[in-house]
Structure 1
Amino acid sequence: MDTGTHIVMGIALGGLATLDPVAASHPATAQAIMAGAIAGSLAPDLDTILKLQNNATYIRNHRGITHSIPAVMLWPLLIILIITFFFPTANLLHLWIWTFVAVIFHVFVDIFNAYGTQALRPFTKKWIALGIINTFDPFIFLVHIAGIIVWGLGAHPGYTFLIVYAILFLYYVIRFRMQRKVAKAVHDKIPDVTNLIISPTLRFSHWHLAITAKNHFYVGRAIKNEIIVYDQFDKVPIPESDIIHAAKKDDNLSAFLSFSPVYRWEIEEYNDHIEVRFIDLRYRSKDYYPFVAVVQLDYNLNIISSYTGWIFSEQKLRKKLDYLPN
C-alpha cells in the first residue's frame, strides 16, 4: 500500500490496542504502542531509500528482504529498542506484541497489491501478488480516516476500529469475488489462456489485464465483467543470441527480468549501436507501456547505456539513456 494508507493503518492499530487491558490501564504503554504501531506500519518500506542509488537496485530489492520472514521478526525488536528510550516505563511485552502485529499487517496487506512482496524469503524469492487491491485504494484510506474522525469525536477507538476492520474484511471478500468473475470472463473469451494477471485500478470496477495465451499476449481491461482487448502481440521466444546474452549482463535488464513476469522484447539495429528493449505488459497507460528495460550495445557487444524503470515518453527515455540513435 501507499505510505499514507500505512500511516492510517498504524493509527488504527494503536486505537485497537486500547482494547488491551494493559494498554488501557497504563498511559505510557498506550502511547508507546501507538508509536510502535505507526513505526511498524512504515518500517518495511524503508527500502524505498534504495531508489536514491539507482532504479535497478530499487526494483530488485523493494518489498524484498525488508518484507521477508527474518525482517518481520527483527523490525519490532529494533523499533522497541528506540521507543523505550522515550517511554522507559512501557510494558515491553505488550509493546512488542502490537509493534509485531503492525509489521505483519504491513506485509500482509501488501500481498494483495499487484506489485506484491517476497514475503516468504528466505524460503523462496517468488513474488506473492494477489492483485486484488490497488496500491492506493480510496475506499480503504477513507474508511480509516472516517474511523479516526469518529474517534476524535469521542467514540471508543477500540470498538470503532473493530467496526472499520469488519467493513474492510467484507470489502476484501467482495474484491476477491469480483476478480474471480473477471478471470472467468477472460477464460470464456480466450479459451487457450496459460497465464492471467489481473491488476486493480483506482476505479472500483476496472481491472488491467495481461493475458498469456498459447501463441499470443493480450493486453486489455475489464470493465465490470466485460473484457476489452487493446493490444495483441505474437508470443515469440527470446532468442539464444550473442546480443541477448550480452544485454542480460546489464544490471538494469537483470533487475527487470527478476521482477517482471510477463513482457515482450524488441531488438533494433542502428548505424552505430544495437538496442535491446524489454516491455512489461502489465502496465498500459494511454497506448504506452511505461515500465521498460533498455540496453544499448555497440557492435562489439559492449554496453553503451541502459535504463530500467517507469518512463512515459520516448523523448524522456532518450534523455535517460543519454544516447540518441542514428
Structure 2
Amino acid sequence: MDTGTHIVMGLALAGIATLDPVVAENSATATSVMIGTIVGSQIPDVDTILKLRSNAVYIRNHRGITHSIPAVLLWPLAIIAVIYPFFPEANLFHLWMWTFIAVFLHVFVDIFNAYGTQALRPFSSKWVALGVINTFDPYIFGIHIIGLIIWAFGANPGYIFIAIYAILFFYYVLRFREKRKVYKEVKRMIPDATEIIIAPTMKNNKWRIAVMNRHQFFVGRALNSDVEIIDQFDRVPVPKIPILDAAKKDKNLSAFLSFSPVYRWEIDEYDDYYEVRFIDLRYRSNDYYPFVAVVQLDTDLKILTSYTGWIFSEEKLRKKLDILPS
C-alpha cells in the first residue's frame, strides 16, 4: 500500500489497542503503543531510501528483505529498543505485541497489491502478489479517514475501527470475487493462455490485463467483467546474440528482468550506437507502456547509458538517457 494508507492503518491499530485493558490503564503504555504502531506501520518501507542510489537497486530490493519473515520479527525489537527507554513504565510485552501487529499488518496488506512482496524469504524468494487491491485504494484510505474523524469527535476508537475492519474484510472478499470473474472471462476468450496477470487500478471496476500463450502476448483491460483485448504481440524469445548478451550485463536491464514476468523487446540500430529496449506489458496506460528498461551501446558493444523505471513520454526517456537518436 502507499505511505498514506499505512499511516492511517497505524493510527487505526492504535485506536483498536485502546480496547486492551493494559494499554487503557497505563498512560505510558498507551503513548508508547501509539508511537510503536505508527512507526511499525511504516518501518518495512525504509527501503524506499534505495531510490537515492538508483532505480535498479530500488527495483531489486523494494519489498524484499525488509518485508521478509526475519524482518517482521526483528523490526518490533528495533523499534522497542528506541521507544522503551523514554517510557520505562510501559508494559514491555504489550508494547511489543502491538508493534509487532503493526509491522505484520503492513507486510500482510502489501501482499494484496499487484506489486507484492517477498514475504516468504528466506524460505522462498518468490514474489507474493495477489493483485486484488491497488497500491492506493481510495475506499480503504477514505474509510480510515472517516474513522479518524469520528474518533476526533470523541467516539471510542476501538469499536470504530473493529467495525471498519469488519467492513474491509467483506470488501476484500468482494475484490477477490470480481477478479475471479475477470479471470474466467479472459480464460474463455483465450483458452490456451499459459499465464494471466490481472492487476487492479485506482478505479474500483477497472482492471489491467496481460496474458500470454505459447505464441503471443495479449494486453487488455476489463470494466467490471467485460474484457477487451487492446494489443497483441508475437511472443519472440530473446535470442542469444552479442548485442543482447552485452545489454543484459547492464544493472538497469538486469534489475528489470528480475522483476518483470511479461515483456517484449526491441533493438534499434543508429549510425553510431544500438538501443535495446525491454517493455513491461502489465502497465499499459493511455496507449503507452511506461515501465521500461533501455540500454544504449556503442558499435563495440560497450554500454553508453541505460535507464529503468517509469517513463510516460519518449521525450522524458531521452532526457533520462541524455543521448538523442540521430
TM-score by length of 1: 0.99
Secondary structure, counterpart of 1:112 in structure 2: coil
Q: How far apart are 1:213 and its partner, in Å?
A: 1.7
Q: Displaced runs of 4+ in structure 1, greater than 3 A?
A: none
Q: CA deviation at 1:58?
A: 0.6
CA drift of 1:98 comes to 0.4
Q: 2:25 aligned with 1:25, yes or no?
A: yes
Q: Which structure 2 residues correspond to residues 1-326 of structure 1 after superposition, within 5 A?
A: 1-326=1-326
Task: Note the C-alpha offset of 1:240.
Answer: 1.1
What letter matches 2:49 in structure 1? I
Q: Provide, for residues 227-284 of structure 1, a one-character-per-residue CA deviation record: whole Å limited to 9, x for no partner.
A: 1111111111110111111111000000001111110001111111111100000111
Which secondary structure state, in structure 2, belongs to the residue aligned with residue 193 of structure 1? Answer: coil
CA distance in 2, matches of 1:144, 1:324: 47
Q: Secondary structure at the match of 2:56?
A: helix
Report SS of the residue matched to 2:312.
Answer: coil
Paired residue secondary structure (2:185): helix
Aligned residue identity for 1:140: I
Aligned alpha-carbon RMSD (Å): 0.8
- Once residues 288 and 247 of structure 1 are traced to their aligned partners in structure 2, the CA distance between those partners, rounded to angstroms, is 23
Q: Deviations along 1:18-77, whole A, 9 cap, x unmatched?
A: 111110111110111111000000000011111011110011111111101111111101
Unaligned stretches of 5+ residues in structure 1: none
Q: 2:42 aligns to what SS in structure 1?
A: helix
* Equivalent-residue separation in structure 1 for 2:213 and 2:172 (angstroms): 28
* Deviation (angstroms), 1:83: 1.0
* Cα distance in 1 between the residues matched to 2:192 and 2:236: 16
* Secondary structure class of the residue paired with 2:18: helix
| Alpha-carbon distance in structure 1 between the residues aligned to 2:157 and 2:225 | 38
Cα distance between partner residues in 1 of 2:257 and 2:230 = 24
Per-residue deviation, 1:157: 1.2
Specify the code of the residue in structure 1 equivalent to 2:75. Answer: W
Structure 1 SS opposite 2:148: helix
Cα displacement string for residues 90-125 of structure 1 (whole angstroms, at most 9, x for unaligned residues): 111100000000000000000000111111111121
**Aligned partners of 1:318 and 1:180: how far apart in 2?**
40
Local SS of the residue matching 2:41: helix
Name the amino acid aligned to 1:180: R
Once the two structures are superposed, residues 110-153 of structure 1 have per-residue CA deviations (whole angstroms, 9 ceiling, x without a partner) of: 00001111111111211111110000001001111111112122
- Between the aligned partners of 1:245 and 1:255, the Cα distance in structure 2 is 15
d(CA) in 2 for partners of 1:154, 1:304: 61
Count of residue correspondences: 326
Rounded Cα–Cα distance in structure 2 between residues aligned with 1:316 and 1:24: 54
CA displacement, residues 263-310 of structure 1 (integer Å, 9 cap, x when unaligned): 000111111111110000011111110100001111211101100000
* Cα shift at 1:184: 0.1
Q: TM-score, normalised by structure 2?
A: 0.99
CA distance in 2, matches of 1:44, 1:262: 27
Alpha-carbon distance in 1 for matches of 2:19, 2:321:
55
Q: Percent identity?
A: 68
Amino acid at match of 1:317: L
Structure 2's unaligned 5+ residue stretches are none
Cα deviation, residue 86, structure 1: 2.4
Distance 1:218 1:127 in 2: 22
